[in-house]
Amino acid sequence: MTLKEEYQKKIDLVNKLLKDRKSTGKSDVTTAEYEHMRDVYQYRIDAMNRIEEKRKKVHVNNYEEMISQTASRRGTFCEKCGNTLKSTAKFCGSCGNQV
């Protein structure tokens, strides 16, 4: 059972307890504590969902950034001799290889 499933199970249990208390007409400090407990578990689930969404977005952005950086690095060195090239170079200044 995942942590989110465990929290959801606790929320369901607290909601059942609250429903039973309301049907009997009980409304006291314990009811408020149960409501607070439910809200805390719900907050934790919401926080986990936000973290998961952020991880998905960061992963995709980092991947795209890595690809673009790799592509730009390919053109900065001569494939034949490894000499550093200027971004506007059409030929390698060291070996004369066409870029």
| Torsion over CA: 17, 23, 24, 29 (sign) | positive
Is 16 contained in some domain?
yes
Predicted confidence (pLDDT) per residue in 57-98, tens digit = 765 567 667 666 665 555 578 888 888 888 788 888 888 988
What is the domain range of residue 15? 3-74
pLDDT above 90: percentage of residues in the chain: 33
- Give yes or no for a contact between 75 and 92, defined as CB atoms under 8 angstroms apart: no
In a domain, 89, yes or no: no
DSSP string, 36-56: HHHHHHHHHHHHHHHHHHHHH
Q: How far apart are CA 12 and CA 24, in angstroms?
A: 19
**Distance (Å, whole) CA 20 – CA 54:** 38
Residue 57 maps to a domain: yes
Distance CA 80, CA 67 (A): 23
Q: Would 13 be classed as within a structural domain? A: yes
pTM score, whole prediction = 0.51
Q: For the chain, what is the domain count?
A: 1
Does some domain include residue 25? yes
* Residue 82 covered by a domain: no
